[in-house]
Structure 1
Amino acid sequence: MSPLEAYDALEIATALLAAFGSAFVRGLTGFGMAILLVPILALALSPLDAVILANCLSLAIGLLEIRRLVRGSERSAWWISGLVVVTTPLGLIALAATSPGIARVVIAGIACSAFVAIILPRGGTASPGRLTTGGVGVLSGLMTGYAGMPGPPVVPYYVGRALDRETAKASMMLIFTIAAASGLMSGAAIGALELRLPLLAALLFPAVLVGNALGNRFSGRIADTVWRAIVGIVLGGAALAAVLRLI
């Protein structure tokens, strides 16, 4: 049997639509791919498969843009990324030991936490202290492993400050790319990275490319205040959808 025969037509169609929509949001806002993609994929796949598949797609699209991300990111992105690499395996081990039902509840909670954090008052342009930055890195790594979502701590850290949009986007995308690589390495280490998942990711990747390109095009045409409003709406919508799926 072909590895892709493990999925039926409805599962693949759902994954294609989710990949396109989440990639569009990524291109538009600089984040949102995992936050939107994982909860949807977890309805058709196991939570562990959904996390690993999202990491495959996030790494692939991030590597295509890596030069721009390295050039445009804030220095703090490297510190956060280093902590993500260290703590991601702990989150993935916890996910592998958790029942799918509990994992879906936790993933929904993570999506809600991102929305709550983003509506808090914005700070200045200066990077927060080492303790805050370290906490963001540790939490992001744990969430990368457990839910394939490095974004909930990272997005408020950058968007919640008065940084210019391109610096915030590049910093977030760089962290998410490194987080995806860390998640895949951790998955391989515990034997969860099966061949069928990279193959399914390859099938979905054209939808990711198109969605991301369209999002980038629209992003350049909107004002910064509108962009920040869209960030809040996306996080709020993801949180609401994740909760509704549990009811």
Structure 2
Amino acid sequence: MEFLAGFSALQITVAAIATLGAAFIRGLTGFGFGILLVPVLALAITPVEAVLALNIMAGLLALSEIRYVLREAERSALTIGALVLLATLPGFMLLDATPPAIARLLIALVALSAFVAVLLPRRGAHLPGRLTTGLTGISAGLLTGFAAMPGPPVVPYYVGRDIPRTTAKASMIGIFGVAAMAGIGSGAVVGVLQWRIVILGLALFPLVMLGNWLGSLAFGRVGDKAWRIFVGVVLAAAAGAALFKLL
């Protein structure tokens, strides 16, 4: 039975529940929206539809937080964001050419890689070199196009350093906002951005705002150590759930 823009009632229900939960985590951690939501959405709709719907919601959310990003983000976010813009389209073209079953498996593995990266020893507060920053931006762009997940390289870049969590969160939000816009543009260029996906993203956006607001309230009540531990738990849960559903 079709319910909204050609999607079934079951698909909409799964999308709504997953969106609310992922938005809460995003409000608390500054990331995790794509890592948590895309693997679940990609089991209810096609991976391409999941990535585009996610980018629409994430792009709108980032626009609502632009003042926070400009005030708190690290300057490195500008460099990484620019590289994300350049590398997103090739990643999306790869997704469009990949069979859905293989794409779902690769997306789950991307989520797992983010958890492994966060487990690496923490570094000092110093800014990484140009090579590390460049590779982070390019890989984040490719993963934005392929899985709407710029997080696996970006999260360790900021969370893995001894910098204030407010700086880390704002920097990640800024980059993920740029990534979302690049993902939407890539979908339009490739010709797979359909109106029904736009409608789905817009219909779910109020849940994104609600979940993100609740998560932001929780962000102000936890310490740095608890926040970093929660980041690792979220990544582990996302990767484990995605792999479990595939198997």
The answer to whether residue 97 in structure 2 is matched with residue 100 in structure 1 is no
Give the structure 1 partner of residue 76 of structure 2.
Answer: 76
% identical aligned pairs? 52
SS in 2 for 1:163: coil
Deviation at 1:4, TM superposition (A): 2.7
Deviation at 1:173, TM superposition (A): 0.3
Give the structure 1 partner of residue 200 of structure 2.
Answer: 200
Deviation at 1:150, TM superposition (A): 0.6
Name the CA distance, whole Å, in 2 between partners of 1:5 and 1:197.
8
Name the CA distance, whole Å, in 2 between partners of 1:222 and 1:51.
31
Deviation at 1:3, TM superposition (A): 9.2
Give the structure 1 partner of residue 25 of structure 2.
Answer: 25
Is the CA contact (8 Å cut-off) linking 1:3 and 1:195 kept in structure 2? no
Name the CA distance, whole Å, in 2 between partners of 1:198 and 1:142.
22
Name the CA distance, whole Å, in 2 between partners of 1:77 and 1:159.
13
Give the structure 1 partner of residue 125 of structure 2.
Answer: 125
The answer to whether residue 53 in structure 2 is matched with residue 53 in structure 1 is yes
Task: Give the residue type in structure 2 aligned to 1:244.
Answer: F
Give the structure 2 partner of residue 227 of structure 1.
Answer: 227
Give the structure 2 partner of residue 160 of structure 1.
Answer: 160
TM-score (ref. length: structure 1): 0.98
Task: Give the residue type in structure 2 aligned to 1:153.
Answer: P
The answer to whether residue 176 in structure 2 is matched with residue 176 in structure 1 is yes
Is the CA contact (8 Å cut-off) linking 1:25 and 1:32 kept in structure 2? yes
Name the CA distance, whole Å, in 1 between partners of 2:22 and 2:3.
24
Deviation at 1:242, TM superposition (A): 1.2
Name the CA distance, whole Å, in 2 between partners of 1:60 and 1:105.
28
SS in 1 for 2:4: helix
Give the structure 2 partner of residue 41 of structure 1.
Answer: 41
Give the structure 2 partner of residue 6 of structure 1.
Answer: 6
TM-score (ref. length: structure 2): 0.98
Deviation at 1:70, TM superposition (A): 1.6
Task: Give the residue type in structure 2 aligned to 1:203.
Answer: A
Moved more, 26-35 or 197-206: 197-206
Name the CA distance, whole Å, in 1 between partners of 2:3 and 2:60.
20
Task: Give the residue type in structure 2 aligned to 1:24.
Answer: F
Give the structure 1 partner of residue 149 of structure 2.
Answer: 149
Unpaired runs of 5+ in structure 1?
Answer: none
Task: Give the residue type in structure 2 aligned to 1:245.
Answer: K
Is the CA contact (8 Å cut-off) linking 2:38 and 2:54 kept in structure 1? yes
Unpaired runs of 5+ in structure 2?
Answer: none
Is the CA contact (8 Å cut-off) linking 1:35 and 1:149 kept in structure 2? yes
The answer to whether residue 216 in structure 2 is matched with residue 216 in structure 1 is yes
Deviation at 1:5, TM superposition (A): 3.8
Root mean square deviation of aligned Cα: 1.0
Name the CA distance, whole Å, in 2 between partners of 1:204 and 1:197.
11
Name the CA distance, whole Å, in 2 between partners of 1:168 and 1:217.
17
